Amino acid sequence: MDRLKCPHCFSSRVVIVSSDATRELVTVRCLDCGRRSDLDQEQFLVDTGKD
């Protein structure tokens, strides 16, 4: 199974900080570079390897 990766530095050390079901967005924060990124549900499901 693939893990979530930071779209900036490609580290797999990311944590989910919030999710918005109405907009289908998940916000993740990278533990290495500290940047936050919004991933839509499709990106999130693909990146975690779930169907």
List, for residues 3-47, the tens digit of each pLDDT value.
Answer: 788 989 999 999 999 988 888 888 999 999 999 999 887 766 655
Domain boundaries, the chain: 1-51
Q: Are 32 and 6 in contact (CB under 8 A)?
A: yes
- Residue 2 burial (10 A CB sphere; 0-12, 13-18, 19+): exposed
Torsion of Cα atoms, 40 then 3 then 50 then 42, to 10°? 10
The pLDDT score that the predictor gives to residue 45 is 60
Encoded tokens for 37: 């990124």
User: Which CATH number is 1-51 given?
Assistant: 2.30.30
Residues with Cβ < 8 Å from 43, sequence gap 6 or more? none
pLDDT over 70 (residue 2):
no
